[in-house]
Structure 1
Amino acid sequence: MAANTQSAEVEKKIRAAFEAFDYQSNSTVDVREIGTIIYSLGRFPSQADLHNFIAEVEEEEDQTGYIHLDRFLPAMTRVLMEQMFPPISEDVLLQAFEVLDEEHKGFLDPDDLSQFMMEEGEAFTQEEMDEMLTALTDHETNLIYSKDLLNHLIMDPEM
């Protein structure tokens, strides 16, 4: 894939991820959504790396708590093109899913996942869970399938 074509594809994916959280359609997102956007693009920075990234893209002058697409897009394009912030391997994700899927059914109930994610480790808020479940739950069966989860969390290695 040519560099310009690859860069255009990367920018397209970044825009789509950003726009999913641009609730007011004004090319800005709440700074608290930046981690979720980065995760949705298949990159998993440490908390320190995430903090540094936010500091890089946040408006220094006014620090409104919002990030503008014009500042996010070039910084995130660089992250993806230079393969910064390591992705999580499919094997590790599958192992984590299987821990929760004790009966090896290949799917999880959203309520069970929500309960686990809000009680264990660095707990998610209800708002964070609602956003994640909306993106991951099969709307016909109301279940979260391992294959869908993996496809959502693993980016094309060409990026």
Structure 2
Amino acid sequence: MTKSVFFTFPPRKYIISDLEKRIIEAFEVFDHSGSKTVDVREVGTIIRSLGCCPSEAEIQEILVAVEDQETSGSVQLDRFLPVVSQIIQENRLQPASPEKLLKAFLTLDHEKKGYLTKEFLSKAVVEDGEPFTQEEVDEMMAIAIDAETGHIPYEYYINQLMVRPTDDDIYALAAKL
């Protein structure tokens, strides 16, 4: 009897999808020791680097699911990967659509001028909802403000914010599974 020369593929649980590869790559950037472990304080940054937009409350929920109970303050890749993979496959934490952003800006633009002032928007994002840090406000204003008028023409700003999905977008990869 002759032995088969064909490779036998491992069961599905060992095949890593493109989505999982992207999550692992993002995780490894913050795994400075190569131990497949990151500090819990890096989890939000890792998830955001994948193109997800979680609130701080959502980050805390994820931490409850992934934090290593034995070594508090750390997250193991083997716990992180399935949780984040599932979140993305369920299309959770996606960035807001242009329509949703426009609706939010229109709600703030009581006079329907098509723009907001720097002072008004700065105050709104610091005091309402999930507050921005001063660094986040400064970054936003650097992109949002029209240099000629000093105002924030929000339709233009929304277009600046929009990232056009590509084939390697994390949610596009999840849709292929």
- In the alignment, which residue of structure 2 is the partner of 1:25? 32
Note the 1:53-72 alignment, pairs <5 A. 53-63=62-72, 65-72=73-80
- Report the count of equivalent residues: 140
Mapped partners of 1:98, 1:34: distance in 2: 33
- For the pair shown, which has the larger CA radius of gyration, 1 or 2? 2
Q: How much identity, in percent, do the aligned residues show?
A: 33
- In the alignment, which residue of structure 2 is the partner of 1:146? 158
Mapped partners of 2:38, 2:88: distance in 1: 19
Instruction: List alignment gaps of at least 5 residues for structure 1.
Output: none
Mapped partners of 2:122, 2:74: distance in 1: 27
Instruction: List alignment gaps of at least 5 residues for structure 2.
Output: 1-14, 145-156
Mapped partners of 1:14, 1:52: distance in 2: 18
> Is it true that 1:87 corresponds to 2:97 in the alignment?
no
Mapped partners of 1:125, 1:50: distance in 2: 17
Mapped partners of 1:146, 1:92: distance in 2: 10
* Offset at residue 120 of structure 1 (A): 1.8
Aligned alpha-carbon RMSD (Å):
4.5
TM-score when normalising by structure 2: 0.51
Identify the match of residue 42 of structure 1 among 31, 52, 61.
Answer: 52
TM-score when normalising by structure 1: 0.55
